[in-house]
Amino acid sequence: MMTPLEMCLICQRPANSLNYGVLSCDACKIFFRRIIFGKPVKFCANIGNPTVEELARSFGPIQFLPKLENRQPDSIQWGNLAALTTIDYMKKFNFMGVLDVEDRIVLIKNSFTDFDMLSNARRSFDLKKAESAFPDGSDIFVKIDHDICNNLENKIRCRLIGRFCDLKIAAEEFLILTCIFFCNPGEFHYLFSAHPNLSLSGRKILNTYQKIYTSCLLQYSFLNYQQNAPSRLTDLFSLYHSVKKAHEEIQTHFFFCKTKMPNLPFKDSLHTNLDFF
């Protein structure tokens, strides 16, 4: 009769040999052998503050260090985390592996800020909040001594959430809609502005996937709104222009900040990505 000492320490099946210093069965041995001698995992060589280009070129997931206990992130750290998380999520779309590296860089650089604003607004909408905030409830704008454009800041915080409330966008609609906005080939779609420097092949790939996602959203609208599906689709597409308007307001806010405080030692997390537009 087999004793407990003769059971695989990993899967608890019968085992009779030591493999890599551990009592294990043949199946677990083969699994770990493949892990050790298989294709090595490539870690990102950009430690510290990688650029968007460096993040877009890497094929592996972004590795995050664990948060230190009893340490609350500030607004800049929340902004960096949101940007990295958004880029990591965008890289997981199937069509990203089909695009050339340069097209992938252009697409991420020109989309992830809008994608991040949409996600932030959706999270606040789901929490039934009237304005955008970071997950811990902190303000999306860095606290500074000067009173700069309070009305403009309130518009930026509330504009997209107001549109979510007006349209009553379902979770499924939001997910498909962000895919349509992300697959933005520009000249192939009359609703959206073109991304600069996308290759012709990249535009064709994005055009194909955007049609797939648009068809999916239209079918969803027919299932839920019947004869009102086309008008519902038009209303949902109008959210894109609200995103662009919010982006213009962020640029204006950044301009006023730099005008009144030319020696500003940092960039607001929402302003960090303005160099790419």
Assign residue 107 the CATH number of its domain: 1.10.565.10
**Residue 115 and residue 201 share a domain:** yes
Percent of the chain's residues with pLDDT above 70: 69
**Residue 162 and residue 25 share a domain:** no
Residue 50 lies in a domain: no
Q: How many domains does the chain have?
A: 2
The average pLDDT across 247-269 equals 69
**What pLDDT score was predicted for residue 65?**
60
| Helix-helix angle 150-167:101-126, to 10 degrees | 80
% helix, strand, coil for the chain, step of 5:
60, 5, 40
CATH code, domain with 15: 3.30.50.10
Q: Which pLDDT tens digit goes with each residue over 111-134?
A: 877 888 888 888 888 888 888 877
The average pLDDT across 263-267 equals 54
| Nearest-angstrom CA–CA distance, 58 and 52 | 10
Residue 213 clears pLDDT 70, i.e. is over it: yes
**Residue 198 and residue 110 share a domain:** yes
Locate the DSSP E strands across 115-174.
none
Tell me if 202 sits within 8 A of 186, measured CB to CB. no
| Nearest-angstrom CA–CA distance, 235 and 232 | 5
**Residue 256 and residue 145 share a domain:** yes
**What pLDDT score was predicted for residue 216?**
92
Residue 5 clears pLDDT 80, i.e. is over it: no
**Residue 232 and residue 110 share a domain:** yes
| Nearest-angstrom CA–CA distance, 166 and 87 | 28
**Residue 9 and residue 79 share a domain:** no
**What pLDDT score was predicted for residue 27?**
80
Tell me if 24 sits within 8 A of 30, measured CB to CB. no
**What pLDDT score was predicted for residue 220?**
92
